[in-house]
Amino acid sequence: MKLEIPPNQEMANIVFSIIWALILIFISFWIAGIAAGIYIIVLPFTVCIEALTGLTDFLLAVVQFPRYCAQAMMEGRGLN
């Protein structure tokens, strides 16, 4: 079963895919790289300091931001 996309919606999907690709290349890789470095440094300290667990969970989500951008790009999702 194939979904039919109206022509104007298809063009919007292409534009959003291009925007997501630009975000992926120019923003998300850099942010994820910085977050990964901080995550690697902070993670061992969560054994001693339980309060850092929330921070490491947040940093892990930031490290996964390129995946979110790539998935949104492939789906042609809007910026919401």
Find the domain containing 33 and state its range.
7-75
Residue 69 lies in a domain: yes
Q: Please tell me the pTM assigned to this model.
A: 0.78
Residue 2 lies in a domain: no
Residue 49 lies in a domain: yes
- Total structural domains within the chain: 1
Residue 1 lies in a domain: no
- Measured in degrees and rounded to the nearest 5, phi and psi for residue 6 equal -60, 150
What tens digit of pLDDT does each residue of 26-59 get? 999 999 999 999 999 999 999 999 999 999 999 9
pLDDT band at residue 1 under the 50/70/90 scheme: low
Exposure string over 4-41, b if 16+ CB within 10 A, otherwise e: eeeeeeeeeeeebbebbeebbeeebeeebeebeeebee
Residue 72 · residue 20 · CB < 8 Å:
yes
**pLDDT above 70 coverage of the chain, percent:** 86
Residue 80 lies in a domain: no
